[in-house]
Structure 1
Amino acid sequence: MPLLQTKTPLDTWLAVPWEEFVNIADAPDSNKLKSYYYNGKMRLENMSTGSDHSNDHALIMFAIAFFSAHQRIPMTAKDGCSYRKSGHTEFQPDASYYVGDKADVIPWGTRIIDLEQYPLPDLVIEISDTSISDDLGTKRLQYEELGISEYWIVNVQTMQIFAFTIAIDGSTKRIRESLILTGMKLEILEQALQRSRQENQSVTMAWLMEQFK
């Protein structure tokens, strides 16, 4: 049954069978929602965001695009893309990236990326305005269990970036410089977020471009 008829609450992990989750996530009235499924539970979030969230989302994507082009790092960005492994998991991060040899792995015409057919993204990013506890909690566990190489959480309220990579033993460890985008220092991005509170994005990006040279 469609989401709006069942009044399924948003921003909450709910235990549901996989088939029910797919029916809800793929229903026409759910096309403006982000969907997650992990450990037998689903979570739905509004895709539409507030101004602060969207500003930081845009700035981070601009910064990574310029840095990658300047450093000649092959990459393809995905904005709000859905990833699904049937019967097991689904996630829809704010931004995700295929880097290096995998930059061209997803063909045009792909809607939901089937993880039984295509590889995981190398980097996923969640922009956290009101969802920081979940992004640091259950979603982090989901991405860790899947084996995604690098996971960033951008805290809109504090202008901090929490970034994690998969350690040799399979657990995650905190990093302050990207291992996927070699040479990308998160401190510089945090400074850019701070500057963006006082100046427009063009001015902030001009400053960032100088830092990346």
Structure 2
Amino acid sequence: MSLLQSPIATDTWTPIAWDEFVQLIDQSDQQHHKAYYHHGQMRLETMPTGSDHARDHAILMLLIGLFGMVTGMPLAPRDACSYRKPGSDEFQPDISYYVGDNVNCIPKGTRVINLDDYPKPDLVIEISDTTLADDKGEKRLQYEALRISEYWIWDVKNGQLIAFSISPDGSSKRIDTSNVLANLSLGLIEVALRRGEVEDQSAIGAWFMEQMR
């Protein structure tokens, strides 16, 4: 039976043809899912609504925005944006960034960013509250295969930032300092996010700005 007529399992990788996957995610009742496709399999995730996930998501975007403001680095953020390489890949990271020369590369009105037409994002970030194993596993492999320059995972439960630099040959290595964001200390981001458990966003932003001076 076609998956178009079957109940769809979420939070697991399911074999499906590319064309069928595209038809499925374009259905109106699937718009509340995050969608991934890699190696002939799809993964649909219910959009996260947990308080901790939402809080840390907002703080992380604030911190990177402040970093860009202080350093003058051009940044173009995307929140839960869909990226597609037709025939092979779809991904929808929690946060993604174009940096530097690519900040204005996506025209207004673009719904799904087609990677055959436009550059890949320079940085992708997953906020891991319930999806840590997959974010460290299959999604990391997908981002390696796509040659995304840098991939961060924020482990909500353990208060840990796990970051990888991905080379042009697809290999990756753990990093403590961002290459994409001009030598930003990832330990500083980690500490700021942990402060979110006891401090409000304004206090965290003020503290982070002090550390940047």
Using the TM superposition, give the Cα deviation of residue 38 of structure 1 relative to its aligned residue in structure 2, in angstroms.
0.2
Judged with a 3 Å threshold, the aligned counterparts in structure 2 of structure 1 residues 24 and 155 are, in CA distance, closer, same or farther, namely: same
Instruction: State the partner residue of 1:150.
Output: 150
- Work out the CA distance in 2 between the residues paired with 1:15 and 1:2: 10
Instruction: State the partner residue of 2:24.
Output: 24
Instruction: State the partner residue of 2:91.
Output: 91
Maintained 8 Å contact 1:124/1:152: yes
Q: What's the CA shift string for 1:76-102, capped at 9, x where partnerless? A: 000000000111100000000000110
Using the TM superposition, give the Cα deviation of residue 170 of structure 1 relative to its aligned residue in structure 2, in angstroms.
3.2
Q: What's the CA shift string for 1:150-183, capped at 9, x where partnerless? A: 0000000011111001236531011011000013
Maintained 8 Å contact 2:149/2:167: no
Is 1:131 matched up with 2:125? no
Instruction: State the partner residue of 1:80.
Output: 80
Is 1:104 matched up with 2:104? yes
Question: After the TM superposition, which segments of 4 or more aligned residues of structure 1 sit over 6 Å from their partners?
Answer: none
- Work out the CA distance in 2 between the residues paired with 1:167 and 1:43: 25
Using the TM superposition, give the Cα deviation of residue 69 of structure 1 relative to its aligned residue in structure 2, in angstroms.
1.3
Partner letter of residue 38 of structure 1?
H
Is 1:54 matched up with 2:50? no
Maintained 8 Å contact 2:164/2:174: yes
- Work out the CA distance in 2 between the residues paired with 1:45 and 1:167: 28
Instruction: State the partner residue of 1:160.
Output: 160
- Work out the CA distance in 2 between the residues paired with 1:125 and 1:168: 19
Question: For 2:187, what is the secondary structure of its paired residue?
Answer: helix
Instruction: State the partner residue of 2:200.
Output: 200
Q: What's the CA shift string for 1:111-138, capped at 9, x where partnerless? A: 1000110010000000000100000000
Gaps of 5+ in 2: none
Q: What's the CA shift string for 1:178-203, capped at 9, x where partnerless? A: 00001311111111122111111111
Identity across aligned pairs (percent)? 52
- Work out the CA distance in 1 between the residues paired with 2:204 and 2:34: 29
Partner letter of residue 63 of structure 1?
L
How many residues of Structure 1 are paired with residues of Structure 2 in the alignment? 212
Gaps of 5+ in 1: none
Maintained 8 Å contact 2:147/2:169: no
Maintained 8 Å contact 1:2/1:29: no
Maintained 8 Å contact 2:78/2:97: yes
Is 1:6 matched up with 2:6? yes
